[in-house]
Amino acid sequence: MKRASNGTLAAAIIAAVIILDQILKIWVKTHFFYGEDYAITDWFRIRFIENNGMAFGMELGSKLVLTWFRIIAVSLFVFYLAKISKRTDLPRGYVACIAMITAGAASNAIDGIFYGLIFDAPPIPLVAEMFPSGGGYGSLFYGRVVDMLYFPLCEWDWPSWFPMVGGEHFVFFQPIFNIADATLSVSVAVLILFYSSVLGKKPEEQKNAEGEKKEDSEVK
């Protein structure tokens, strides 16, 4: 059976991540009021929030600038994937990571571009409506990114005598994020840990490196 090309692999990953991420976001947006929290386990919750910023709810700079930054970044990654789609010297995991980064950025960009137009923002405890008759809560490029995955793995109260934070309640891993954030962050970490030698390497250099590995294995 013929192995799928890098281009096919990348397209499948991008489509899968965007579809899964958008389905979950739309479901949460239309079934939870803002701030609603649902406990799946003691350490895994669904908590609906929105943000104007980067991954994991971080706020950074202008909303419009961030949306355009995502669009430009996605365009550059798509161009890079098209460029490497026919290369056979690259590890499949490397291509998958680039595709996952592209998908994560693209899906969050969809929120920022369109969600202000296609959703309203009713007062709590009402839930949002998709394609409301009265129009959305914002304009094109001014939508908010939907987050919902919350993993408070453990929490405790600091002793009152503890310096700086005494008496405060601490929750380990407080960020609330979405599938796109997780996909993007994990793929970046995998790239750094396992494919740093591939980053920036030219095709000729990669082929020479593979040739040397092959010769070494034959000698052994």
Contact 15, 110 (CB under 8 A): no
Active site annotation includes 181: yes
**Quick check: is 147 catalytic?**
yes
| Active-site option among 21, 111, 120, 181 | 181
Distance CA 215, CA 136 (A): 62
Encoded tokens for 34? 């803002």
Residue showing tokens 């489509």: 15
Check 37, 89, 147, 157 and give the catalytic one. Answer: 147
Q: What angle do CA 70, 123, 112 make, to 5 degrees?
A: 5
Q: Which residue is it, tokens 């609330």?
A: 176
- Provide DSSP, 68-125: HHHHHHHHHHHHHHHHHTT-SSS-HHHHHHHHHHHHHHHHHHHHHHHHHHHB--PPTT
ω into 152 cis (within 30 of 0): no
Burial class for 175, CB neighbours closer than 10 Å (0-12, 13-18, 19+): middle
Residues designated as active site: 147, 181
